[in-house]
Structure 1
């Protein structure tokens, strides 16, 4: 996935263009400066929550890290056309579960929502760390079964089930029963 290789360098490019040092970005995001440098050097693939914090601190949309388009009209992605993807870990850099994100709007500039098809690879262990970020998420299960830890509650969703949740509540989305799953996720993160 080409975007994964460019994610860190794009973050670094935007940070430099905004004249923000790695230390300033760490302070604005509440992230360790070592983590920011590892992300920028492509040594670590961040989870979605830190990426949203970085986007917000730099004053850009989350999609800015994922797209190169200036198209203002509608964005159409034909079946099988989710070419651009990025791989996130579901938690810290040592995570065993991975989420493969395929953008459904990479050609749409100025968007406020981020729609993705997400392939969720199962984890062998169940030490799911909860994370939170500003905004809202809508998830629709396409294949497999997912489990969502949301605050103190746990929800099991099957194909055809959906959930709309506030992202500020600590949460974790992962594959259930150690089987892969696929979801449609729409993330709204204000900046």
Structure 2
């Protein structure tokens, strides 16, 4: 399987885009792009969305294993691998594990995930990117910091927001939370 980093390198080579050009097109720092291109870990979701936009592809391009033209069915009895996106400029891993619900779907415009959010002791870094997000709490308590506002969501609650506004999603309390998250990013 080709890694996210390898897919980014292949797309950059095919379009003759340097790390500096990619950084400028994605609105990222050259150090961020260099770290992404030199590492095998998956960059933050916000960075993937910005890189995809700069390369003219959909964000799911970096997460696809195979593509099906028809519907993609996920059974609760099937185990799917999770993906942990890394933080923006640090070596730390994120506090969220993402299980894609549509990695095999060709040409999709939305990225649906089941996301486990682990409690964190330090404050995380906010992200912003083009698009929209929908979160539905399946288990636990989730805190969504959105701009200057703070929302506490419980099982059965949901939130839909524009992701261009700085936001941070964390677990409330000492327990892991589980959400259904759908990310839309315009191509």
Unaligned runs of 5+ in 1: none
Q: Residue 153 of structure 1 is aligned with which of 144, 149, 154?
A: 149
TM-score by length of 1: 0.89
TM-score by length of 2: 0.91
What SS class does the counterpart of residue 164 from structure 1 fall into? strand
Paired with 1:139 and 1:90, the residues of 2 have a C-alpha distance of 20
Query: Do the aligned partners of 1:90 and 1:98 also contact (CA within 8 Å) in 2?
Result: no
1:167 counterpart = 2:163: yes
Unaligned runs of 5+ in 2: none
Distance 1:105 1:39, change over 3 A: same
The equivalences for 1:23-34 within 5 A come to: 23-34=20-31
| Deviation by residue 1:26-60 (Cα, 9 ceiling, x = unmatched) | 11112122221221222554221111100110111
Paired with 2:37 and 2:69, the residues of 1 have a C-alpha distance of 28
Distance 1:23 1:54, change over 3 A: same
Q: Residue in 2 aligned with 1:142? A: 138
Paired with 2:89 and 2:104, the residues of 1 have a C-alpha distance of 29
Question: What is the Cα deviation at residue 179 of structure 1?
Answer: 2.1
**Count of aligned residue pairs for this structure pair:** 187
Q: Which moved further from structure 2: 155-164 or 26-35? A: 26-35
